[in-house]
Chain A
Amino acid sequence: ETGVTQTPRHLVMGMTNKKSLKCEQHLGHNAMYWYKQSAKKPLELMFVYNFKEQTENNSVPSRFSPECPNSSHLFLHLHTLQPEDSALYLCASSPSGRANTGELFFGEGSRLTVL
């Protein structure tokens, strides 16, 4: 039990579908993150939320839409995705609200396949 829970663990969707990934943290942290993990590439930071406010959008295409209704929940809404968006999407949280403490707590990830 890592304290950060992601659902679903696996998702297969067509390019015209709309789906959402959910992340919940039970650690009382103030910041939450979405990362994309693709084979043979560094982890790509997508979005950062501090105290429910988005503080980072790392040039992510608009077909990915984050939502943070409170400091414990984070969503990633997906629509009209491309096959190259297939990857493992990792949610993370940090206690301080600043990533530069380096202490991120990750969920197990949602494996997305776009057909």
Chain B
Amino acid sequence: GDSVTQMEGPVTLSEEAFLTINCTYTATGYPSLFWYVQYPGEGLQLLLKATKADDKGSNKGFEATYRKETTSFHLEKGSVQVSDSAVYFCALTLLSDDKIIFGKGTRLHILP
């Protein structure tokens, strides 16, 4: 079935480090891909999205590129801040199915 797999957390980095959170997907069609972020004590917020192969989504210094050949949508940021500490969820949707499928989430800790 359709699914999203994220790297296990927690991920702990120092401030200003480079961040990569891996996400791969399995889908029967051509999905749209998303990253959501959940800050402590809050609900999820859409961070960025990409709707077709080779699209790059970006927001708040985060980027992710839709790679059809590797079925991946890795999240990257060049220099993380303490305020980026949160749980990050990769997700996909398919036009053929009225659902959004989330990964398990990756907790990110940024140390000052």
Question: What is the interface of chain A, defined by CB distance below 8 A to chain B?
Answer: 2, 4, 6, 40-43, 45, 48, 55-56, 90, 92, 98-109
Q: How far is the CA of A109 from the CA of B42 in the complex (A)?
A: 7
Closest-by-CB residue of B relative to A9 is B41
Tell me whether B100 and A108 are in contact (CB under 8 A): no
Stretch at the interface among B60-68, B71-79, B90-98: B90-98
Check if A100 sits within 8 Å of B43, measured CB to CB: no
B interface residue count range (under 10 / 10 to 19 / 20 to 34 / 35 or more): 20 to 34
Contacts of B32 in A (CB 8 A): 100, 102
A42, A43, A102, A105 pick with most chain B CB within 10 angstroms? A102
Q: A104–B100 contact, CB under 8 A? A: yes
B35 to chain A, nearest CB (A): 10
Q: Identify the B interface with A (CB < 8 A).
A: 4, 32, 34, 41-46, 49, 89, 91-95, 97-105
CA distance A56 to B97 in the complex (A): 12
Please give me the residue from chain A that is nearest to B6 by CB atom.
Answer: A42
CA distance A87 to B91 in the complex (A): 20
Pairs A-B, 3 closest by C-beta atoms? A106-B43, A100-B93, A43-B102
Residues of B near A45 (CB, < 8 A) are 99-100
In whole angstroms, what is the CA distance A85 to B49 when docked?
32
Q: Which residue of B lies closest to A44 (CB)?
A: B102
**Further contacts, 9 of them, CB under 8 A, given A43-B102, A92-B44:** A40-B104, A42-B4, A42-B104, A43-B44, A99-B100, A100-B100, A103-B46, A106-B45, A107-B43
Given contacts A90-B43, A103-B46, A104-B46, contact A41 B104 (CB under 8 A): yes
